[in-house]
Amino acid sequence: MRTAVVVGGGMAGLATAGALSRSGWRVTVLERAERVAAPPTAVVLWPTGLRALQSLDPDGGWTAIASPLPDGGVRRPDGQWLVAPRARSGAGPSPAAAHLEDVYDALVAGLGDVEIRTGFEATTIRTGLRTRPTVSDGRTTIEADLLVGADGIDSRVRAAVAPEAVAVGSGFAAWQAVIPGFRVPRLDGGRCVGGETLGAGYRFVAIPLGDHAAGRGGVYWVATAAGAARPEAPATQLALLRRWFAGWHEPVGALLDATRPEDLVPQGVRELRPLPRAYGFPAGPGGVVLVGDAAHAMPHHLGQGACLAFEDVATLRSLVADVEPGPALTAAVESYSRLRRPRTTTVVRQNRRMSAVVQARGRLALRARDAALNHMRPRMLARSLDPPADWTAPE
């Protein structure tokens, strides 16, 4: 039987394992944590990401866990519109938001006959033109026809096959939180309105989740600030956020006031520079492929990271579903790289342009940002919101 080892039990790893298992592969997932668990945050699923998930698992119930997300527009801290909300044109699907607990539950439910080994930290990856790829934690060595690196921005698999791609700081820190429905402040006629607000080096995004997200509904918010990750305890960081965003239009202050320290998920934001030279590396009768953040980690300005990961998996599944180890599988590994790298390179380039906009500081820079934003953001979003889409699930 064809065998695959997936290193990493996050969204990309679980999606890969389920897709390969349903295609007749014997799959083992290696997760370094003691259990597979969803971070207590949420994710934006653009139409491309939803299409990828639906192609991977048509019975996954994705529309039931993802709440349609209207365009909330972009404002200044004083509430003045930089980009007014716009109605989505066309009849295609809307972007949606989903709690990660629900996404993980759906991915785990679709795994099928997959072996998951937790507490397994991959320390050694070996590949060769004539030998099957292997992964070891120093005690146990596992080999397979196909090795999938889904182990995030600090990927050990990527370090072995594409050491030129290095994780570097993006120049800002981020904080995320989900406020459960019973603690969400009621504003604007009883509702808590979402949307995006840009200040001088600061950004705040609020996204309403469905009433039943993770069984409790709520609002997901993300805040960013220029600089490195903060070392303080969550309670101190939350106090800093309340001070930095004081005076911003509602619901920014109300959402921060409703947030508890245990809700807060701080992170230093990093990205890969440069991107790996390839995403697929033939080895023995098969090879090694990179998916998700292991392949193209980037800041979340465009909210495309998870969607690109699901696109990766859908493309990989379509290429390897029916092939056997040998020349056909090594060719599929090479094809995966040729298909995915141009797409991700384009999104990373767009993301870096948006990064310059988000991090603008100083009077002249802010004036230039405000002028550029009206032109750039709707054009970028149009490619995701309106048909025809720029990515479709491969047949």
Question: For 296-310, how does the pLDDT look when each residue is reduced to its tens digit (9 = 90+)?
Answer: 999 877 678 899 999
Residue 41 has pLDDT above 50, yes or no: yes
Report the run of H or E that residue 225 belongs to, with start and end. strand 219-226
* Architecture of the 170-269 domain: 2-Layer Sandwich (3.30)
**Mean pLDDT on 325-334:** 98
Domain ranges of the chain: 3-70+92-168+272-385, 170-269
pTM of the model: 0.91
For residue 10, what are the CA distances in angstroms to 139, 255, 303, 323?
A: 23, 28, 17, 26
Question: Tokens 């109300």 map to which residue?
Answer: 254
Which pLDDT band, with edges at 50, 70 and 90, does 385 fall under? very low
pLDDT above 70 as % of the chain: 86
Mean predicted lDDT score pLDDT of the chain: 89
CA torsion sign for 54, 59, 65, 67 is: positive
- DSSP E strands, 33-112: 42-45, 67-68, 74-75, 81-83, 96-99
For residue 287, what are the CA distances in angstroms to 95, 309, 322?
A: 34, 19, 16
Side by side, the strands of the sheet bearing 141-143 are: 124-126, 134-136, 141-143
Which pLDDT value is given to residue 239? 97
Pick the CATH number of 3-70+92-168+272-385 from 3.40.718.10, 3.30.420.40, 3.50.50.60, 3.20.20.150: 3.50.50.60
For residue 146, what are the CA distances in angstroms to 6, 101, 132, 323?
A: 8, 28, 8, 12
Would you state the structure tokens that stand for residue 81, as one six-digit string? 């519109």
Alpha helices (H) in 223-362, listed in sequence order: 234-244, 252-258, 293-296, 305-320, 327-358
**Mean pLDDT on 115-142:** 96
Q: How far apart are CA 217 and CA 211, in angstroms?
A: 4
